[in-house]
């Protein structure tokens, strides 16, 4: 066995690589074109959001949550709002829930169209990339119309939503759905279900068997592509989703087989595009009249939350899988004492790294793109000492100490004292 | 003596013209593909700007590279220029002799080989993988092409040509003169093989494997920059034009100078221009359209296409041409 090791090559994919949209690092051990081992290194994109959040109040964190990730910006602040509502026991008006559903599903459509293009790009099929991103412009326009912005629509508020959906929006959305059903979806189905190049490249590559998907707790389209019926909207009876008849989409309904490969994951995404359109139509249909906020004024929320105590968990099926937010409140504090999120990319990334062993190098970019990785959500910091090879996970305290040290280094005249942050072991 | 001087001057003129035409085609190709993808695309002269910019940039040489790393681009360009002397350009190749097809194939393959050597010398793992892939493709793609080319030349020999097994043959006799239905079928099969070979020679669409941007970051070219990269780009462009010229010469050799009654230098210029136009048409099919409607395959799938699809097709096409000559089936 040792004789063979000499022929093994270690290839770094990342932190900067044309196949990756965000900095991450995969160290891939190769025997020719066959992959022997995949090592995932995270931590190139940490921005310390959890720490920043401890210095902000409950409302400000909403906007911070939105900036965790550019693509699922609505999912994150939706989940955060749910967590806070659960913690404080705030009832959300039904109309607000419906508006959340509509915007959330619009976001799912734009995220899935984006991912379809990215996967096509990684197999060198650039025409699909350009055309599917062109199709995506339509839903971006609608989102801009509703939220006032293409990416960060700032739709959510604790206890409701900030913007109503008017008749004008409703007509624009229905027009958009008509356009997608007539013009875009047949072409997308033709490419991702029947095109020979796509089938040759995506079939049987990056296979995540059902067992591994369960063991690694894969989420979202990655899990559903492996045949697990897992969808928070369905399993947890989230909000008003049960009334809208949401069901987990598996590739079985389209192709009749479940292999858990990249092809299946893309089939799930195509199926969810259809499903999202149906859900939006039903939601617009059933939407009741009424309030869109539990509190008419924002300062009432702060006032109520200042007295709140306890913890809350919000769950939501983001386009990439289940996202969980955890918040803890202390009475007298107008911001979260602890805010923690778990993103779908984290388990998916390790599941796909495990699935790549034994496959070809050519499959690495497409397999990674197929889980739609969102690393800006995922990153944590690990520091490795180059001399000893020891690894140390940095906590907030360490990071704060380091940054104070650095600030003093850059500007020795600075006088301000760092304020108290966090609780428990995080107190500096 | 005068002959050699004229031929050398002709080669230099040809080199300048083909450099211009091939870079112009790259610009056209980018524009056309951009329109197919509903984009605006870069300006038509973008490849010229790129080339000039690269020539003026600093060339970074990796720490682990050896001497051949700097030599390879120069060699590749030199070989491409030498190749031009053996390429049919609307008229017989400048240095056409008996059996020059072997020199042609040798030089064409040598460019790929030098790219591989340069990539291995760069010491980058991406280039290493790109070089492995290029090598595998190289040994797979040439066999169907050579089989088809030799069969056609062998068949044309029987029609009576001046220099047997020379690329000049195509301007005396061409494959369509055979005329029999069987020969036509064989020719169409070989035409398909040659168009697929052309796509793999210029590495687009299915066969964009060695330089796969999203997999191995431009493969063999991963470490090259500045002047060295510019030379490689130019030699690639020349190679693209030469490969397409071969297909044009075999299947569409007709000139128009005879029809409009020109002779001498004017006829040569008109023929070269018309040849360039035909090359652009062939490249439009084999490159622009092919690259717009396909993605990249895995290396194993590409090799399967060569050995299980193109090689049998070439064998069948060749056999049909042979049967037509020998008259086994009346």
Contacts of residue A13, Cβ cutoff 8 Å, sequence gap at least 6: A19, A20, A25, A26, A27, A28, A364, A365, A368
Work out the number of other CB atoms within 10 angstroms of the CB of residue A257: 10
CB A35 within 8 A of CB A20: no
On average, the pLDDT of chain A sits at: 81
Q: What percent of chain A has pLDDT over 90?
A: 2
**Chain B residue closest in CA terms to A195:** B294
Residue B184 is part of which domain span?
A: 2-326
Mean pLDDT of A302-327: 84
Nearest CA in chain B to A130: B37
Q: Where are the domains of chain A?
A: 56-378, 383-428
Query: Which residues in chain B have their CB less than 8 angstroms from residue A30's CB?
Result: 129
Give the per-residue pLDDT at A399: 62
pLDDT band at A42 (very low <50, low <70, confident <90, very high): confident
CA proximity to A275, closest of A249, A238, A243: A249
Give the β-pairing of A382-384 and A338-342: unpaired
Question: Residue A6: pLDDT band by 50, 70, 90 thresholds?
Answer: low
Number of compact structural domains in chain B:
1
Task: Give the nearest chain A residue to B205 (CA atoms).
Answer: A124
Mean predicted lDDT score pLDDT of chain B: 85
pLDDT of residue B1: 65
Least confident of A243-247, A401-405, B174-178: A401-405
* Contact assignment for B217 to A17 by CB distance below 8 Å: yes
The count of residues in chain B is 330
From CA A161, how far away is CA A81, in angstroms rounded?
Answer: 10
pLDDT at A424: 38
Higher pLDDT, A179 or B5: A179
Q: Among A314-328, A408-422, B197-211, where is mean pLDDT lowest?
A: A408-422
The average pLDDT across B210-237 equals 83
**pLDDT value at position A423?**
40
Q: What kind of architecture, by CATH, is found in domain A56-378? A: Orthogonal Bundle (1.10)
Angle ∠(B318,B322,B325) on CA atoms, nearest 5: 145
CA distance B227 to B59: 6
pLDDT at A412 over 80: no
- Are the C-beta atoms of B84 and B241 separated by less than 8 Å? no
Q: Answer whether B217 sits within 8 Å of A127, measured CB to CB.
A: no
Yes or no, beta carbons of B301 and A200 under 8 Å apart: yes
| H or E stretch at A391 | strand A391-393
- Compute the count of residue pairs across chains A and B with CB atoms less than 8 Å apart: 78
Nearest Cβ partner for B215 among A12, A19, A126: A19
Span B276-288, mean pLDDT? Answer: 90
Report the pLDDT value the prediction gives residue A1, as an integer from 0 to 100.
46
d(CA B307, CA A423): 67
A395 pLDDT more than 60: no
Percent with pLDDT over 90 in chain B: 14
Q: Which of residues 21-60 of A touch B (CB under 8 A)?
A: 30, 32-33
Can you tell me the mean pLDDT for A30-39? 81
Q: Which of A102-116, A157-171, A276-290, B155-169 has the lowest mean pLDDT?
A: B155-169
Q: Which pLDDT does position A342 carry in this prediction?
A: 79
Task: Give me the pLDDT at residue A356, please.
Answer: 85
Cα of A122 to nearest chain B Cα, Å: 6
pLDDT in tens, B146-163: 888 888 888 888 777 777
Give the tokens for residue A109.
Answer: 């459509």
pLDDT score of A400 more than 70: no
Query: A32, B297: Cβ pair inside 8 Å?
Result: no
Give the C-alpha distances (Å, rounded to integers) separating B253 from A125, A358, B201, B246, B321: 33, 49, 21, 10, 19
**Average pLDDT of span A372-383:** 62
Give the confidence band of A418 by pLDDT, cuts at 50, 70, 90.
low
What is the pTM for the complete model shown?
Answer: 0.81
Q: Please report the pLDDT score of residue B4 as a whole number.
A: 80
Cβ <8 Å between A9 and B125: yes
In B, minimum Cα distance to A10 occurs at: B125
Among A178-192, B25-39, B214-228, B238-252, whose mean pLDDT is lowest? B214-228
A246 touches A234 (CB < 8 A): yes
Partners of residue B128 in chain A, C-beta under 8 Å: 9
Using a CB–CB cut-off of 8 Å, the residues of B that contact A are: 36-39, 125-126, 128-129, 132, 205-206, 208-209, 212-217, 292-301
- For residue A260, pLDDT over 80 is answered with yes
pLDDT tens readout for residues A321-371: 888 888 888 887 788 888 888 788 888 888 888 888 888 877 888 888 888
Is residue A425 over pLDDT 50? no
**Which backbone phi and psi does A10 adopt, to 5 degrees?**
-100, 125
State the pLDDT at residue B259.
Answer: 77
A125 or B92, greater pLDDT: A125
Asked if A138 has any chain B CB less than 8 Å from its own CB, the reply is: no
The partner residue sitting opposite B295, judged by closest CB among A17, A30, A123, is: A123
CA distance B198 to B279: 11
First to last CA, chain B: 52
Return the pLDDT at B48.
92
Chain A closest-CA separation from residue B51 CA (Å): 22
Flag whether pLDDT at A194 surpasses 80.
yes
Q: Rounded distance, CA B34 to CA B42, Å?
A: 8
Q: What is the mean pLDDT of residues B110-125?
A: 87
Burial B131-167 (b: 16+ CB within 10 A, else e): bbbbbbbbebbbebbbbbbebbbebbeeeebeeebbb
Q: Under an 8 A CB cutoff, do A360 and B300 touch?
A: yes
| Predicted pLDDT at A384 | 56
Judging contacts by C-beta atoms under 8 Å, the chain A residues touching residue B38 are 130-131, 134
Mean per-residue pLDDT, A38-51: 76
Shortest distance between the Cα of B289 and any Cα of chain A, in A, equals 11
Q: Is the pLDDT of residue A427 over 50?
A: no
User: Nearest-CA distance from A187 to chain B in Å?
Assistant: 13
pLDDT of amino acid A391: 61
Complex ipTM value: 0.79
Nearest to A220 by CA among A414, A30, A370: A370
The reported pLDDT for the residue numbered B24 is 92
* Packed helices A262-286 and A167-179: angle between N→C axes, nearest 10 degrees: 150
CB-based contact B164:B213 (threshold 8 Å): no
Whether the pLDDT of residue B31 is over 50: the answer is yes
Give me the helix-helix angle, B68-84 and B101-121, nearest 10°. 160
Please report which confidence band the pLDDT of residue B49 belongs to, taking 50, 70 and 90 as the band edges: very high
A121 close to B (CB below 8 A): yes
Res. B330: pLDDT tops 70: no
State the pLDDT at residue A428. 41
pLDDT confidence tier of residue B79, bands split at 50, 70 and 90: very high
Residue written as token pair 């959890």: A50
Q: What is the pLDDT of residue A397?
A: 61
Q: Could A9 and B128 be called an inter-chain contact, meaning their C-beta atoms sit closer than 8 Å?
A: yes
Residue A219 burial (C-beta neighbours within 10 Å; 0-12, 13-18, 19+) = buried
**Tens digit of pLDDT for each residue in A223-255?**
888 888 888 888 777 878 888 888 888 888 888
More confident of the two residues A197 and B161: A197
A94 interface with B at CB cutoff 8 Å: no
């Amino acid at each position: 066995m040792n004789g063979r090791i000499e022929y093994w090559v270690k290839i770094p994919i990342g932190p900067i690589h044309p196949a990756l949209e965000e900095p991450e690092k995969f160290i891939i051990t190769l025997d020719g074109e066959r992959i022997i081992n995949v090592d995932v290194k995270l931590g190139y994109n940490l921005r310390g959001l959890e720490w920043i959040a401890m210095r902000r109040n409950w409302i400000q964190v909403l906007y911070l949550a939105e900036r965790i990730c550019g693509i699922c910006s609505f999912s994150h602040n939706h989940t955060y709002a749910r967590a806070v509502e659960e913690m404080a026991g705030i009832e959300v008006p039904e109309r607000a829930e419906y508006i959340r559903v509509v915007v959330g599903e619009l976001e799912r459509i734009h995220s899935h169209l984006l991912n379809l293009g990215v996967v096509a790009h990684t197999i060198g099929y650039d025409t699909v990339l350009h055309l599917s991103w062109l199709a995506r412009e339509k839903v971006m326009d609608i989102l801009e119309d509703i939220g006032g912005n293409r990416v960060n629509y700032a739709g959510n508020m604790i206890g409701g939503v900030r913007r109503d959906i008017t008749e004008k929006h409703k007509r624009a959305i229905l027009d958009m759905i008509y356009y997608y059903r007539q013009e875009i979806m047949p072409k997308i189905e033709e490419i991702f279900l029947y095109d020979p190049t796509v089938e040759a490249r995506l079939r049987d590559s990056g296979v995540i068997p059902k067992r591994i998907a369960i063991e690694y707790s894969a989420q979202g389209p990655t899990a559903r592509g492996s045949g697990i019926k897992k969808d928070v909207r369905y399993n947890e009876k989230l909000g008003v989703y049960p009334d809208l008849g949401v069901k987990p989409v598996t590739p079985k309904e389209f192709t009749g087989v479940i292999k858990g490969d990249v092809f299946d994951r893309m089939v799930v995404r195509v199926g969810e595009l259809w499903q999202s359109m149906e859900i939006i139509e039903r939601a617009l249909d059933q939407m009741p009249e009424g309030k869109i906020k539990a509190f008419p004024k924002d300062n009432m929320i702060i006032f109520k939350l200042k007295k709140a105590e306890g913890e809350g968990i919000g769950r939501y099926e983001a386009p990439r899988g289940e996202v969980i937010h955890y918040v803890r409140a202390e009475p007298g504090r107008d911001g979260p004492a602890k805010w923690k999120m778990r993103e779908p990319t984290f388990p998916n990334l390790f599941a796909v790294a495990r699935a790549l062993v034994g496959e070809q190098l050519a499959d690495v970019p497409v397999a990674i793109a197929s889980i739609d990785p969102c690393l800006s959500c995922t990153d944590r910091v690990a520091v490795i000492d180059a001399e000893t090879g020891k690894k140390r996970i940095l906590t907030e305290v360490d990071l704060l100490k380091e940054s104070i040290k650095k600030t003093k280094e850059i500007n020795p005249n600075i006088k301000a004292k760092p304020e108290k942050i966090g609780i428990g072991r995080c107190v500096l | 003596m005068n002959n050699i001087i004229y031929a050398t001057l002709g080669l230099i003129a040809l080199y300048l013209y083909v450099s211009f035409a091939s870079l112009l085609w790259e610009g056209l190709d980018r524009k056309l593909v951009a329109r197919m993808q509903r984009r605006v695309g870069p300006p038509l002269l973008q490849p010229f700007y790129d080339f000039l910019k690269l020539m003026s940039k600093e060339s970074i040489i990796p720490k682990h590279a050896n001497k051949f790393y700097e030599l390879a681009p120069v060699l590749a360009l030199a070989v491409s220029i030498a190749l031009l002397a053996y390429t049919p350009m609307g008229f017989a190749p400048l240095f056409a002799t008996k059996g020059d097809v072997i020199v042609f194939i040798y030089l064409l393959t040598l460019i790929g080989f030098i790219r591989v050597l340069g990539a291995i010398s760069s010491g980058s793992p991406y280039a290493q993988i790109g070089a492995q892939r290029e090598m595998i493709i190289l040994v797979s793609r040439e066999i169907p092409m050579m089989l088809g080319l030799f069969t056609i030349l062998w068949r044309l020999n029987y029609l009576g040509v001046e220099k047997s097994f020379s690329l000049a043959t195509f301007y005396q006799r061409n494959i369509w003169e055979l005329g029999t239905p069987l020969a036509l079928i064989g020719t169409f099969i070989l035409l398909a093989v040659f168009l697929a070979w052309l796509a793999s020679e210029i590495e687009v669409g299915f066969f964009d494997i060695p330089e796969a941007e999203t997999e191995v970051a431009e493969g063999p070219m991963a470490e090259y920059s500045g002047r060295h990269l510019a030379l490689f780009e130019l030699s690639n462009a020349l190679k693209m034009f030469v490969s397409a010229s071969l297909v044009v010469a075999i299947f569409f050799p007709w000139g128009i100078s005879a029809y409009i009654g020109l002779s001498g230098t004017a006829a040569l210029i008109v023929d070269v221009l018309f040849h360039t136009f035909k090359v652009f048409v062939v490249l439009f099919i084999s490159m622009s359209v092919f690259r717009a409607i396909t993605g990249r395959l895995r290396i194993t799938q590409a090799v399967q296409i060569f050995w299980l699809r193109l090689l049998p097709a070439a064998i069948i096409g060749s056999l049909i041409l042979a049967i037509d000559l020998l008259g086994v089936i009346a």
